[in-house]
Structure 1
Amino acid sequence: MNTKEKRYTLAILVNNHPGVLMRVVSLFSRRGYNIDSLSVGETENEAFSRITIVVSGDRPVVEQIKKQVGKLYDVQRVYEMAGEKSLQRELVMVKVSTEHDDRSQVIELAEIFKAKINDVTSSTITLEITGSLDKIQSFLDLMAPFGIVEMARTGITALERGARALSSISFSEDEA
């Protein structure tokens, strides 16, 4: 990522129909935009799904992405989730190689970061951690010397702080 590029989190409310995710992701692909993170799921209203996409770019590129995605047929809203005004979390499962001597260090770090131990074998420990990107990156940096055998990430999911919901944000607020 170059120095002008920043990470932006977009919450996209779409009709819950087959093929909608493919059309949204295809737009990114056709335009040459890279998706850093993607998560999707049904909302509190089964008629809608929420897609959370993290992209890197400069402000004009992100504004262009928001406008282009907003024009897609099944898209109801596109809203940028500002870091300080939103709660953004990711779930990561990581399998760490452990020798008998360093197993207690891995367990101690897991406790400090409030990671859950999901599986233990004679040579690995599988951990689950949820949190902000910074927390997860710090945890992974500390696990790296032990040897990360395998890892799976869910992608960022986000909600705006406060009482307002994505389905209630007006288009004029979207532009602000």
Structure 2
Amino acid sequence: MSATRKHTISVLVNNQPGVLQRVSGLFGRRGFNIDSITVGASEEQGLSRMIVETSGDEKTLEQVSKQLYKLIDVIKVVDLSSNPMVARELALIKVNADPGIRPEILGVVETFRAAVVDIAPTTIIVQVVGDTDKIDAMVELLKPYGIRELSRTGVTAMTRGMKG
């Protein structure tokens, strides 16, 4: 039995209503939990790219891949995590920030090469871009100040270099 590991899968699909539901439903039926899913335009007009982050063993992933190809609107399926890849996520974090505490928070923001995108009388909104570990670390460091709201995009990714 093969070990469970994290997979990042690229699914190129026709931009049609219901495709996201059919793709995510297939993962659920196969017992794969979707950790994150992002969908957006691809380099080809009329096609969208879904980046799905999930965990499972190799055999089940292979089955999911075969099943995805049976869906009429699926054009191409690639396990990005089987090659060197670039993966990024964006998070917006609204933090309690009374004026006296702001310099401390701005120190954290600077360390993570993040950006303040809104300042209100008692809160600030921080934008951070990076891999999932970087986002998680930033969230942990801002928790003591009081996170009022958190919104994450989910992972988007592509293989490095000429492949893909």
Q: Does the 8 A contact of 2:83 with 2:159 survive in 1? A: no
Q: CA deviation at 1:37?
A: 0.3
Amino acid at match of 1:104: P
Q: CA deviation at 1:163?
A: 2.0
Tell me the residue number matched to 1:45: 44
Tell me the residue number matched to 2:148: 149
Q: CA deviation at 1:135?
A: 1.1
1:108-141 Cα distance to aligned partner (Å, 9 max, x none): 1111111111111121110111111111111111
Q: CA deviation at 1:157?
A: 0.4
1:36-95 Cα distance to aligned partner (Å, 9 max, x none): 000001111112110000001222222222222222111111111127611000011111
Tell me the residue number matched to 2:55: 56
Amino acid at match of 2:88: R
Q: Residues 4-43 of structure 1 correspond to what in structure 2 (within 5 A)? A: 4-43=3-42
Q: CA deviation at 1:29?
A: 2.7
TM-score of the superposed pair, with normalisation by structure 2: 0.91
Q: Does the 8 A contact of 2:30 with 2:60 survive in 1? A: no
SS of the aligned residue for 1:82 comes to: helix
Tell me the residue number matched to 1:110: 109
Is 1:95 aligned to 2:94, yes or no?
yes
Amino acid at match of 1:54: E
TM-score of the superposed pair, with normalisation by structure 1: 0.85
Is 1:79 aligned to 2:74, yes or no?
no
Amino acid at match of 1:113: F
Q: Residues 109-148 of structure 1 correspond to what in structure 2 (within 5 A)? A: 109-148=108-147
Identity %: 40
Mapped to 2, the partners of 1:84 and 1:123 lie a distance apart of: 45
Runs of at least 5 residues in structure 1 that lack an aligned partner in the other structure:
166-176
SS of the aligned residue for 1:99 comes to: coil
Tell me the residue number matched to 1:69: 68
Q: CA RMSD in A?
A: 1.6
